């Protein structure tokens, strides 16, 4: 019997945009406030790439430099080897400190304060919400208002059993996806547009939770398929524009650029579609309180109001601010995570077979998962965790603006400086993971089945935080993981996966981690025993 180790942290993918708006602390303030204290070194002594006045090190990531944003993981590891596990870097008007040690990452989260800040992110979605005077969700704000909104959904979405209560909503989506795969395989057993189809699955799975209803991406009804295609195409276009905005100067903040107009168009389409589900959202909110909190429906209004939310006609707005980004962000990150999860299983048939045997042992004869299923499937959890380590969902990790002077790697970093925890890079470091390029789920197990582990220390849980950690951890973590588990179970119950191409699938960071080539995975129907 496998047992999953708890040494990895239990923790959205934060975006960590390289073009944050400047924080309140200026460089001169920073230098002045960090004179060497005792045995600690000053901030001015911290090494890092120097760059040029005004643009910092941004030129290094341009066509004139040696680095590329889409290969940011390689760049971070290169700089870490040159400057050490703590170095500073300036990109445009933003100054940041990169950290690569689990103890420093533990410090970052431990000292993040009651109202953790990820900095003032230059985000096209935030600009759109402000310009169109729409509700701004807690994902884009800090301070007391963030705390008020976060508290309102904390027990709703992050309760340990919250996701499993929706397993009967998500399981049919996985079953429909298996049927879709079976019907759309070519003669070689390959799905021609598998990467795009994975996003259809994650979108349908997320919508089942967010709206309590199906979108219909696998529905053969022409009307349902038409509506689903509109939303699916809008999200695809949203992804493209979002990616372009992330790695360019945010001119859209000052005037409506052509790129911004493209974003505005698809955002309006998506929000118009989401608006159709307002009544369903309202029922869903009440249902959360009724089932998770064990209260009667007629007491739900008091519970909502007690958390600072209204129960009038605009009750869906605060929760819409949660659900709408989930459809966009979770679809991007979860779809890519599923792509790499299936690829890693296909490229490592011996690991796939171990997982298949576990599935058969727990769910013989293609039984459907229940709320208790995952407790008995440690290898499934380890297999996904290992895929997250190899292919971190976003381009780097988590970031915080520290509310006070804090010591990282023996350097005193002043408050107001953005700290970036390079969790993705640590997953590729030999000192933490022997043979780091190898897909080996057993490294996350304990007991007699554990192998290839590292020398685990008190802060080793901070080596794996695909959903961040602490007060700003991704509220959709459990739902995303459950959707990935259900997909893997349903697919492996029906198909054997293989990848026979000579070149391996590598990563591009745009900023979500995506495959650099088509996912030509072969799906071979399993024969009944």
At a CB cut-off of 8 Å and minimum separation 6, what does 163 contact?
Answer: 209, 478, 479, 481, 482
Ligand-binding site membership of 529 (annotated) = no
CA torsion angle for 72, 118, 512, 88 (degrees, to 10)? 0
- Crossing angle of helices 167-184 and 477-494, rounded to 10°: 40
Distance CA 422, CA 101 (A): 9
Q: Are 516 and 412 in contact (CB under 8 A)?
A: no
**DSSP E strand stretches across 1-110:** 3-4, 86-91, 94-99
Q: H or E segment at 243?
A: helix 222-246
User: HSE-up of 501 (CA within 13 Å, CB side)?
Assistant: 14
Q: Are 320 and 274 in contact (CB under 8 A)?
A: yes
| C-alpha pair distances (Å), 259 with each of 16, 240, 245 | 21, 10, 8
Q: Are 469 and 317 in contact (CB under 8 A)?
A: no
Q: 246 by DSSP, 3-state: which? A: helix
Q: What's the length of the chain?
A: 529
ω into 83 cis (within 30 of 0): no
The 10 Å CB-count burial string (b at 16+, else e) for 300-333 is: bbebbeebebeeeeebbbbbbbbbbbbbbbbbbb
Q: Report how many helices (DSSP H) and strands (DSSP E) the chain contains, helices first.
A: 17, 12
Q: Are 59 and 430 in contact (CB under 8 A)?
A: no
56: left (phi over 0), alpha (psi -120 to 50) or beta: left
**Binding site membership for heme: which residues?**
474
**Binding site membership: which residues?**
474
């Amino acid at each position: 019997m496998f047992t999953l180790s708890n040494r990895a942290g239990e923790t959205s993918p934060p975006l960590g945009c390289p073009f944050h708006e400047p924080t309140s602390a200026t460089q001169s303030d920073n230098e002045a406030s960090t004179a060497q204290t005792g045995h600690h070194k000053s901030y001015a002594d911290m090494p890092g790439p120097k760059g040029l006045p005004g643009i910092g090190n941004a030129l290094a990531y341009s066509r004139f430099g040696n680095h590329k944003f889409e290969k940011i993981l390689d760049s971070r590891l290169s700089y870490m080897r040159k400057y050490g596990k703590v170095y500073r870097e300036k990109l445009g008007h933003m100054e940041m400190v990169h950290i690569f040690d689990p103890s420093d990452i533990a410090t970052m989260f431990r000292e993040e304060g009651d109202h953790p800040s990820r900095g003032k992110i230059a985000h096209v979605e935030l600009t759109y919400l402000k310009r169109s005077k729409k509700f701004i969700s807690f994902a884009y704000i800090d301070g007391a208002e963030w705390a008020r909104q976060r508290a309102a959904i904390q027990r709703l979405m992050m309760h340990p059993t919250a996701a499993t209560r929706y397993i009967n909503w998500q399981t049919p989506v996985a079953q429909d996806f298996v049927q879709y795969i079976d019907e759309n395989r070519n003669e070689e057993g390959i799905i021609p547009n598998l990467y795009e189809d994975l996003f259809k699955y994650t979108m349908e799975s997320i919508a089942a939770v967010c709206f309590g209803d199906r979108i219909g991406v696998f529905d053969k009804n022409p009307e349902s398929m038409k509506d689903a295609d509109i939303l699916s195409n809008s999200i695809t276009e949203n992804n493209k524009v979002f990616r372009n905005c992330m790695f360019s100067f945010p001119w859209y903040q000052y005037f409506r650029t052509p790129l911004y107009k493209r974003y505005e168009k698809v955002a309006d389409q998506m929000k118009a579609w989401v608006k159709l589900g307002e009544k369903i959202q309202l029922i869903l909110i009440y249902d959360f309180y009724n089932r998770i909190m064990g209260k009667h429906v007629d007491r739900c209004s008091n519970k909502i109001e007690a958390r600072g939310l209204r129960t009038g006609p605009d009750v869906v707005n605060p929760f819409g601010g949660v659900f709408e980004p989930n459809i966009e962000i979770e679809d991007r990150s979860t779809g890519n995570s599923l792509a790499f999860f299936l690829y890693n299983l296909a490229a490592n048939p011996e690991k796939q077979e171990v997982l298949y045997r576990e599935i058969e042992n727990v769910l013989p004869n293609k039984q459907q998962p229940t709320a208790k299923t995952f407790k008995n499937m440690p290898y499934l959890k380890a297999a996904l965790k290992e895929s997250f380590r190899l292919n971190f969902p976003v381009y780097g990790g988590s970031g915080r603006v520290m509310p006070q002077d804090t010591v990282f790697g023996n350097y005193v970093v002043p408050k107001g400086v953005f700290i970036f925890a390079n969790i993705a890079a640590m997953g590729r470091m030999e000192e933490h993971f022997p043979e780091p390029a190898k897909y080996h789920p057993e490294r996350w197990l304990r007991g007699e089945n554990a192998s290839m582990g590292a020398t685990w220390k008190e802060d080793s849980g901070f080596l794996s935080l695909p959903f961040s950690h602490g007060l700003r951890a991704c509220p959709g973590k459990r739902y995303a993981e459950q959707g990935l588990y259900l997909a893997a179970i349903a697919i492996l119950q029906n198909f054997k996966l293989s990848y026979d191409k000579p070149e391996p699938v590598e990563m591009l960071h745009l900023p979500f981690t995506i495959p650099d080539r088509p996912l030509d995975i072969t799906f071979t129907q399993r024969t009944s025993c």
